[in-house]
């Protein structure tokens, strides 16, 4: 159905709000609601959010070292490595607004592969 938001499995840690959802038992969340959740989480240091796609790839976001920056990682299953990219907060949040059902390298152009 056109216009329907995909459903993702999501986990996160909110150290400042005292809430957490484990990666072992992620909750389902419509893609259209992920940005709002991430915006609140990424406003505080140490918090993070992970989004699991249909192929078990994980997109994880947490605050970068510089203010207003976010580390975005695309983690591959079976410990093959990850792609990592640091983005301004607004670009990272915009990325979350239009997530495809299946993640790949095209999601993070210019990212560095880390084994």
pLDDT digits (tens, 9 = 90+) for 70-95: 999 999 877 689 999 999 999 999 99
Cβ within 8 Å of residue 104, ≥6 positions away: 57
Picking from 51, 69, 52, 49, the residue whose alpha carbon sits closest to that of residue 61 is 49
Helix axes 89-97, 34-41, angle to 10 degrees: 160
pTM: 0.92
Does residue 1 have a pLDDT over 60? Answer: no
Indicate the domain borders of the chain.
7-107
Residue 19 in tokens: 């809430």
For residue 6, give the DSSP letter: P
């Amino acid at each position: 159905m056109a216009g329907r938001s995909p459903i993702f499995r999501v986990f996160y840690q909110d150290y400042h709000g005292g809430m957490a959802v484990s990666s072992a038992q992620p909750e389902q969340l419509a893609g259209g609601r992920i940005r709002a959740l991430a915006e609140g989480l990424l406003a505080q240091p140490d918090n993070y959010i992970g989004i699991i796609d249909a192929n078990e790839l994980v997109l994880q976001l947490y605050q970068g070292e510089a203010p207003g920056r976010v580390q975005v990682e695309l983690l591959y299953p079976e410990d093959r490595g990850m792609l990592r990219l640091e983005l301004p907060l607004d670009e990272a949040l915009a990325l979350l607004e239009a997530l495809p059902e299946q993640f790949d390298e095209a999601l993070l152009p210019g990212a560095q592969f880390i084994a």
